[in-house]
Structure 1
């Protein structure tokens, strides 16, 4: 009978009278729906302290209406429509004020719960509860484009509900009202009822729509008496799964399925306190990308601390990440770069592509604020160590593209100051410059064997150029373009024969690299 009687009234801020009329019309529909309820079955549920909203759920009356009114109003509707004795409903209304907990929803649909400080909070209206949720969200998240609402409930709710559903099916299945009008096969769950009760108010309060979103609001309800999900099955429990309607539940010695249908209350797990509710919010990572230049030979790419001692003056990761994080009001950050250079290697020229992954950002930065942050980083005292450029906001696909580019499409250009054990000749310059797409086999270098697998890797040297240095016959500037992942230092000195060919083997002499700079990293993304 649910969907025939429902639509959630739209709130029209420009015409409050129209909104009141809409609510009044919906209340009439609700009263009409309740009139079809079997009074004796409703009375039994009320007697056993089942809350009004769960009564409506059990009989498939849509929560879009009753979520708008207080329990007192709900019970007055039930009293009027089902002609119950006034004392029955008034007695239960009074008991509910004293925080009696519904044995099915454990207070979830009564909007009664313990918060993280273990304080008991009780809200009459769904809108009041939605206000509490919205205020918690707004404390940290000023800007969201949409949201997804998630709810997690303890298993005792499903178990107790299955007891009542089984009982009612057994007791009332032979009655005409049951056969003609009711089906317990598609009862709306407490989880879905709660979502639909507050979702409209949340949309209004947060000013955005609910949809499949990167921003998630999660309400987690836990009950101290519900250990099914936390503890392994003990000797007093069984793993037998039984089907009640369309609900699968676990059977324990506390919840007996079947038995005497005259008293389902004795089969329910007893509760005397509402659940503890924890509200958490999470935002999908925000990615800000750009290119960095490392101007110092004493700055590592990422934090480098050994035995509580920092190596180098600073790190690229910290200089960039710790300035961007406050701008996004995030919980933390991760630094990703397209490859890496040694601490004593400068990164010049076009810069190396990087991404800062901001976790659970409370603020989504605009392109203008990102550019302002770029200027700020470049004006800091550390700007003589690290600078940034081309910073912009990227989607998660930016991370994928950068990884693909690093592995497959990237080329790097270097400038190296090299010393050899003999004088450089003109023939050497011509011979080196004529080599194109030279294949080099590199066994994992000795200096990184402690952190990389011992493998043979084939890399390509696309081109090389030698520039003589005036006044020195054994020093020259080597410029080269290589495939990503090539070990340049080892390509120069040969690494005791582990890299072949090398500059030393090609020239037939000993070769050493004195200084190395990365001058260009070519990729398809993160360019101006």
Structure 2
């Protein structure tokens, strides 16, 4: 970082290089020194940063008529604190964010009246000093960045990333013009609508611009600031061992259904570790509360909102271990990791192509025969038409869907002729309970219709979910 002496020397050299008559004119119009720099397109960050810390340059008792005090770091503040970098740094620490961010983005929102002021001043100096038509100023936002970023990056211990999409931590600064300034701005707009061309003398035009600029600087802008982190995504697979645990939190008439939920067990542990505001749980499909999820497990994502801490790879393993070592052992997770926002897209892509395998304990109303085993096992890629099941009609549209049963296998149970294990692999979204009992004819064919008898599922487990593109 440059020393104060070097910055002082560079500042003096920049000032000497500017036309003194124009500078004095702009100072008389009430412009602050940083606005004068941006009028002449001075892009040296060190100059802006040095002047922001050096009240010698510019009159701090007068509000800049061009930027309304924004580049003077002046605004309405009950505590009379105008050290913006320190205000932001204190906010970040106070809200519990880690300050050692690799990068952060800075979003600055300023009143439109400042852009209108720039346009008016540009017209003024074009007429009075013969500036070119295509002359543009450095924007107030860029000049503000030049002044703010060096001390802010030092305080936060990270670099500002100009591409907001590449930064996970965001700081937003909002300046709002006072009511009087907005009224003046609206009056000028109406005047401009009725005066599309200049009909007065050069001197009159210049005087009009000067008068407008002086009138707009009534009081500093109101200033608010906030910070937030973009969502974190944790991906993995979960296994559910209890037949009394729902996938998501299930409350009916203030009464919990089931003893817990997969969503709460996984999500709340992650939420606590990240010190975040909230989370959303997403899974590749769902199982009923009385269905276990076994085998490799079901892919899931936990979307964490506004995390104060980003866990390391080792910390994520600690979260996984904590979930897996709870006393009740209702749910277990595997392969959990931070996956980035692309994890959501990958899961959605995989959902459309996935196949699911099940194991069901089935009862039928007659003894099972050898030809039944051969018939069911021989069926491959069986097309099944399923109307929305009666049990979910209250929350889902009444549609008819075609699903594929890729293969089935029947396994007899010793000592029982009316019970067997049904192993099957199906297309995603197939209603397995209804495929067994037929749902009063709403699913056809069904195990019951194929065997010509009544069939019921007594227990059902998901044993495998094959998704080629996500967390195998």
Query: Structure 1 pair 227/325, CA: closer, same or farther in 2 (3 Å)?
Result: farther
Partners in 2 of 1:227 and 1:20 — Cα distance? 36
Partners in 1 of 2:143 and 2:301 — Cα distance? 41
Partners in 2 of 1:416 and 1:219 — Cα distance? 58
Superposed CA deviations along residues 328-367 of structure 1, whole A, max 9, x for unmatched, are 1222111110100011111122211111111122221111
Query: Structure 1 pair 267/21, CA: closer, same or farther in 2 (3 Å)?
Result: closer
Query: Structure 1 pair 290/66, CA: closer, same or farther in 2 (3 Å)?
Result: closer
Partners in 1 of 2:36 and 2:116 — Cα distance? 16
Residue 253 of structure 1, CA deviation:
5.3
Q: Pick from 176, 189, 204: which aligns with 1:222?
A: 176
Q: Pick from 14, 21, 36: which aligns with 1:30?
A: 14
Matched, 1:251 2:198: no
Residue 153 of structure 1, CA deviation:
0.6
Residue 322 of structure 1, CA deviation:
0.7
Query: Structure 1 pair 31/152, CA: closer, same or farther in 2 (3 Å)?
Result: same
The count of residues paired between Structure 1 and Structure 2 equals 455
- Aligned counterpart, 2:211: 266
TM-score by length of 2: 0.88
- Aligned counterpart, 2:50: 68
- Aligned counterpart, 2:305: 359
- Aligned counterpart, 2:106: 149
Where do 1:434-513 residues align within 5 Å? 434-513=378-457
In structure 2, the residue corresponding to 1:341 is in which secondary structure?
A: coil
Q: Pick from 117, 121, 146: which aligns with 2:81?
A: 121
Query: Structure 1 pair 200/67, CA: closer, same or farther in 2 (3 Å)?
Result: closer
Q: Are 1:291 and 1:526, in contact at CA under 8 Å, matched by a contact in 2?
A: no
Residue 324 of structure 1, CA deviation:
0.5
- Aligned counterpart, 1:134: 89
In structure 2, the residue corresponding to 1:74 is in which secondary structure?
A: coil
- Aligned counterpart, 2:122: 165
Residue 266 of structure 1, CA deviation:
3.4
Residue 24 of structure 1, CA deviation:
4.1
The answer for unaligned runs of 5 or more in structure 2 is none
Matched, 1:400 2:345: yes
Residue 382 of structure 1, CA deviation:
4.2
Partners in 2 of 1:364 and 1:170 — Cα distance? 55
Q: Are 1:56 and 1:63, in contact at CA under 8 Å, matched by a contact in 2?
A: no
Query: Structure 1 pair 25/119, CA: closer, same or farther in 2 (3 Å)?
Result: closer
In structure 2, the residue corresponding to 1:296 is in which secondary structure?
A: coil
Residue 452 of structure 1, CA deviation:
2.5
Superposed CA deviations along residues 40-84 of structure 1, whole A, max 9, x for unmatched, are x43343334322211222233335214313454324xxxxxxxxx
- Aligned counterpart, 1:520: 464
The answer for unaligned runs of 5 or more in structure 1 is 1-9, 12-18, 76-92, 124-128, 239-249
Residue 227 of structure 1, CA deviation:
9.3
